């Protein structure tokens, strides 16, 4: 059983919230009493997700956001504050896998797209979240890196490069903002049962699971539980970490 938290009166922001890890985390924040701004690029999926959570009595609102656009990231934070009065927690989850294959077959356009979403997107969101939280004197941010931010696997150069970069951003921001009462951390999910995981070919998935000691795919709710812990007072001395949530993959 996961621990429970009381986030009543607090406000959370989740990007990439229409499905997978983002939806599970938005739902967990809301179930713990937080008001949640859910953002995604997929308008219909976001509408369906927010409707489902509202139907369960959760306090959520949705906003279509392209995290690669800094103006939209700034507007996203402004929307959270306008709607709910403040911003206490953020999970910067939006990301894409991009094409897989030999680095020499990657195009510059594909490389730029992966990094625009996975790395610049975290930077744009975190920048404006930090501006708001600095004024408040408190806050907690969790960025979504990946198992691919901790290790290298063949055929995923652009993706792994972007996710390693997320950890660098996280550590630098954690040091910059510790004195402002803001904690910044990252989670590094392994092989998780999400729509993104569905896009990985069967051979690669079999390889992942063969090296994941727990012997099964992770569940989105297990990553959400780690995010909520990192945002909670239970992790008050934890900052600048890249927390593997990977069934033991990186313990080998």
Q: How far, in Å, CA of 244 to CA of 242, rounded? A: 6
What Cα–Cα distance (Å) separates residue 246 from each residue in 34, 144, 149, 210? 27, 13, 12, 13
In a domain, 126, yes or no: yes
pLDDT in tens, 119-129: 999 999 999 99
Q: How far, in Å, CA of 47 to CA of 19, rounded? A: 11
Q: What pLDDT, on a 0 to 100 scale, did the predictor assign at position 83?
A: 96
**What are the structure tokens assigned to 219, written together?**
């569940």
Q: What pLDDT, on a 0 to 100 scale, did the predictor assign at position 96?
A: 95
Q: What pLDDT, on a 0 to 100 scale, did the predictor assign at position 211?
A: 76
In a domain, 127, yes or no: yes
- Is 32 within 8 Å of 231 (Cβ atoms)? no
In a domain, 4, yes or no: no
Domain total of the chain? 1
Q: How far, in Å, CA of 32 to CA of 133, rounded? A: 21
In a domain, 155, yes or no: yes
CATH code where residue 145 lies: 3.40.50.720
Closest residue by Cα to residue 137 from 73, 74, 88: 88
**Regions of the chain where pLDDT drops below 50:** none
Burial of 56 (0-12, 13-18, 19+ CB in 10 A): exposed
Q: What pLDDT, on a 0 to 100 scale, did the predictor assign at position 195?
A: 76
Active site residue 177: no
Domain range for 177 is 11-244
In 3-state terms, what secondary structure has residue 98? coil
In a domain, 105, yes or no: yes
Q: What pLDDT, on a 0 to 100 scale, did the predictor assign at position 199?
A: 58
Catalytic residue among 5, 91, 159, 177: 159
In a domain, 3, yes or no: no
In a domain, 157, yes or no: yes
pLDDT in tens, 26-80: 999 999 999 999 999 999 999 999 999 999 999 999 999 999 999 999 999 999 9
In a domain, 6, yes or no: no
Q: What pLDDT, on a 0 to 100 scale, did the predictor assign at position 126?
A: 98
- Is 246 within 8 Å of 210 (Cβ atoms)? no
pTM confidence score:
0.94
């Amino acid at each position: 059983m996961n621990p429970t938290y009381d986030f009543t009166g607090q406000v959370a922001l989740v990007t990439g919230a229409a499905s997978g890890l983002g939806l599970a985390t938005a739902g967990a924040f809301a179930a713990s009493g937080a008001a949640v701004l859910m953002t995604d690029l997929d308008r219909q999926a976001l509408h369906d997700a927010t409707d489902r959570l509202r139907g369960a009595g959760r306090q959520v609102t949705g906003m279509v956001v392209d995290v690669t656009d800094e103006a939209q990231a700034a507007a996203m934070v402004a929307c959270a504050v306008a709607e709910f009065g403040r911003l206490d927690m953020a999970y910067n989850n939006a990301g894409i896998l991009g094409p897989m294959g030999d680095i020499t077959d990657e195009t510059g356009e594909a490389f730029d797209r992966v990094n625009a979403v996975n790395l610049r997107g975290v930077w744009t969101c975190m920048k404006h979240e930090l501006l708001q939280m600095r004024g408040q004197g408190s806050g907690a941010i969790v960025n979504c890196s990946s198992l691919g931010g901790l290790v290298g696997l063949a055929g995923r150069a652009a993706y792994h490069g972007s996710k390693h970069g997320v950890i660098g951003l996280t550590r630098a921001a954690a040091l910059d903002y510790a004195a402002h009462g803001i904690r910044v951390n990252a989670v590094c999910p392994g092989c998780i049962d999400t729509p993104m995981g569905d896009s990985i070919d069967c051979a690669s998935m079999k390889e992942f699971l063969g090296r994941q000691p727990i012997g099964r795919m992770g569940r989105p709710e297990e990553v959400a539980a780690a995010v909520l812990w990192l945002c909670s007072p239970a992790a008050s001395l934890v900052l600048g970490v890249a927390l593997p949530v990977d069934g033991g993959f990186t313990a080998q």
